[in-house]
Amino acid sequence: MQLTELSAWQLGDLIRKKEIRALDAAEAVVAEIKTKNEKLNAFLSYDEAVIRSQAEGVQEKLDAGQVLSPLAGVPMAVKDNISTRLYPTTCASDMLQGYLPPYDATVIENLQQAGAVITGKTNMDEFAMGCSTETSFRGPALNPWNQGHTPGGSSGGSAAAVAAGLSWYALGSDTGGSIRQPSAYCNLTGLKPSYGLVSRYGLIAYASSLDQIGPMARSARDCAAVMDCITSQDSKDSTSSDHSTAFKASCYEATTGFNISLKGRKIALPEQALAQVDPAVRRAVSETAAVFKDLGADIVPFDLPYQDASVPVYYLIACAEASGNLARYDGVQYGRQPDNGHEMDLTAFYEHNRSAGFGKEVKRRLMLGTFVLSSGYYDAWYLKALKMRRMIIDSYNEMMRGIDAVLMPVTPSAAPPLYQHEDDPLARYISDTFTVDANLTGRPAIAFPCGINAGGLPVGAQLTGHLLADDILLGLVHAYQTQTSHHEKRPSSARKGEPA
């Protein structure tokens, strides 16, 4: 039995039943990381000693009879924009090199309570601004399915780690698709939870009204188990939902207590979306619809509202919020600080630190965000986008009445080769067209594997649901995964012990 080929849930089961020790799982994953990470560049930081001591700590609690969670002792990875006291948290930016947060994000506290073993911090696009990890200060992560291709982004390191067997599951963050797109590119199941379900306290903000932390794993059932650990009503996050605590139980139940019956469920399929994507993606998503139909669901037509506005509205809002959120990086308190700061005047000091610390894409978005908020442009761009956001929210509320979920592609194609659109930011932005609505509306959305294309790269499908009905999405995908095996496919490079 190869431990790294099990699902997180299965591994947790073995540990809980004392068939293996938490340390065995930790050793297995350390060995994998050591052989493969240098090539894949999935982790920005990990520490063998820290991994082992966490595993031993969890084992002690388990031996003492403490009930932690179904995932106790299962090693997992965390995107490098989630604050941890165990590891530096850099957002893959030069700006935060060496920054060791003096506090843990709420999700980290929750995970530790649940007995998680945190292996390290995963690569990402700088400050989560990108869709390929190409904007990482430490260079891109590679797609374990084909190393000439991107694993996606911005949670690309998390996706690469889980797909390559370097971790059983990982946390990502999703502002405009950053969990779902890399999940699709790496054959994973990834959930962008309802806004407010998972605390953002400690998540280094890109765009506060859109950001949400979520699980990336090998099945809906694993995602549900992770949601069960990380969801909480957090008094430290004013945008945290009052329903979080009540929600916890139902999330896990959706994939364990009962197999959701799809009789009477309505799943909408927007034809217009299928018309815009690669044939392989179109075929895979259509086949997915057929599976849901076989399972008893009704497939109904749907029109994505204001589809051409989604990407502009998303980028206008995200960049505006980012220009505020990233203003704090000035080289005074933490992170990258100059040796010769005292020789500069105040403005030069700020300009020097910020220009040297931020990469090209971050600067581009800060310029855009600053522009749309600046005097004379606010109403025409930013306020206009906020109004469009209301129209999009209202339309979804209206159109999804009586519908459980909307099924569509995650991306127009499978993972592109690395650096495909390096000098064409607009082309990159436009590829977010199917993912940003969930963030604009706060709705949950889940990406899941639905096939492999002719080039051997995975293709993903996506379901968008109702606010705080994440459990329904997990249940639907779980039902799908009981009937299909796309999610069980692993890249050949994921085989144990083989260098990536």
Partner 1 sequence: MSEAKNDELVSREVISRIAKLARLDLDDNEQNTYEHDLETILDHFKKINVYDTKQVEPAYHPHDYENKLREDDAKPSRPPQDWLALAKQVKDGCYMVPKAVE
Partner 2 sequence: MTTYETIIGLEVHTELQTDSKIFCSCSTRFGQQPNTQCCPVCLGLPGALPVLNRQVAELALRLCLATDCSITPVTRFDRKNYFYPDLPKAYQISQLHEPIGRNGQLCLKDFPERVVRIHEIHMEEDAGKLTHDPWSDQSLVDYNRCGVPLLEIVSEPDLRSAEEALDYLATLRKLLMFLGVSDCRMEQGSLRADVNVSVRKTGTQALGTRTEMKNMNSFKAIGRAIIHESQRQIDLLNEGGMILQETRRWDENKEMSFAMRSKENAQDYRYFPDPDLPPVKLDKAWIDRVRQNMPERPEQKQSRYQHEWRLSAYEAEQLTDEPFLASLLEQTIACGANPADVSSWILGEWLQACRSGNCDASDLSVQPESLAKLLEMIRNNVITRTTARSVFTYMLDHQIDPESYVREHGLAMVNDLDDLKQMVASVLEASEQSVKDYLAGKEKAKTYLIGQVMRKSRGKANPAHVNKLVEELLEQHRQP
Distance between CA atoms of residues 281 and 274, nearest Å: 8
| Residue span 421-440 as binding mask against partner 1, x where in contact by CB under 8 A, dash where not | ----xx--xx--------xx
Distance between CA atoms of residues 210 and 318, nearest Å: 7
Q: How many residues make contact with partner 2 (CB under 8 A)?
A: 44
Distance between CA atoms of residues 104 and 120, nearest Å: 14
Q: Among residue numbers 351 through 380, which ones bind partner 1 (CB under 8 A)? A: 351-352, 354-355, 358, 363-364, 366-368, 370-371, 374, 376-377
- Between 151 and 357, name the residue whose CB sits nearer to partner 1: 357
Distance between CA atoms of residues 333 and 145, nearest Å: 41
Distance between CA atoms of residues 128 and 131, nearest Å: 8
Q: Which two tokens stand for residue 478?
A: 């779980």
99 in contact with partner 2 (CB under 8 A): yes
235 in contact with partner 2 (CB under 8 A): yes
Contacts 24+ apart (CB under 8 A), 463-468: 463/267, 463/405, 463/406, 463/407, 464/405, 464/406, 464/408, 464/437, 464/438, 465/404, 465/405, 466/400, 466/404, 467/194, 467/195, 467/441, 467/442, 467/443, 468/194, 468/197, 468/241, 468/243, 468/247, 468/444
- Between 195 and 434, name the residue whose CB sits nearer to partner 2: 195
465 in contact with partner 1 (CB under 8 A): no
| Residue span 207-226 as binding mask against partner 1, x where in contact by CB under 8 A, dash where not | --xx----------------
Q: Which two tokens stand for residue 401?
A: 């009445």
- Between 4 and 89, name the residue whose CB sits nearer to partner 1: 89
Give the residue, chosen from 53, 370, 413, 484, that forms a contact with partner 2 under the rule CB under 8 A. 370
- Between 32 and 330, name the residue whose CB sits nearer to partner 2: 330
How far, in Å, are 29, 105, 199, 438 from residue 435 at the CA level?
A: 31, 25, 21, 6
Q: How many CB atoms lie within 10 A of CB 196?
A: 21
- Our separate counts of H helices and E strands in the chain read 17, 11
- Between 222 and 234, name the residue whose CB sits nearer to partner 1: 234
- State the nearest-atom distance from the C-beta of 275 to partner 2, in Å: 34
385 in contact with partner 1 (CB under 8 A): yes
Of 17-25, 183-191, 285-293, 330-338: span binding partner 2 (CB under 8 A): 330-338
| Residue span 94-123 as binding mask against partner 1, x where in contact by CB under 8 A, dash where not | -----xx-x---------------------
313 in contact with partner 1 (CB under 8 A): yes
Give which of partner 1, partner 2, none residue 195 binds (C-beta under 5 to 8 Å, depending on kind).
partner 1
Q: Which residues are known catalytic residues?
A: 79, 154, 178
Give which of partner 2, partner 1, none residue 316 binds (C-beta under 5 to 8 Å, depending on kind).
partner 1
CA 336 to chain centre: 26
Residue 406, helix vs strand vs coil: strand
Distance between CA atoms of residues 419 and 163, nearest Å: 21
- State the nearest-atom distance from the C-beta of 27 to partner 1, in Å: 33
Distance between CA atoms of residues 254 and 274, nearest Å: 29
Q: Among residue numbers 174 through 203, which ones bind partner 2 (CB under 8 A)? A: 200-203
Dihedrals phi, psi of 140, to nearest 5 degrees: -75, 155
Residues near partner 2 (CB under 8 A) are: 82-83, 89, 91, 96, 99, 101-103, 105, 200-205, 207-209, 235-239, 320-321, 323-324, 327-328, 330, 332-334, 342, 346-347, 350, 370, 373-375, 378, 382
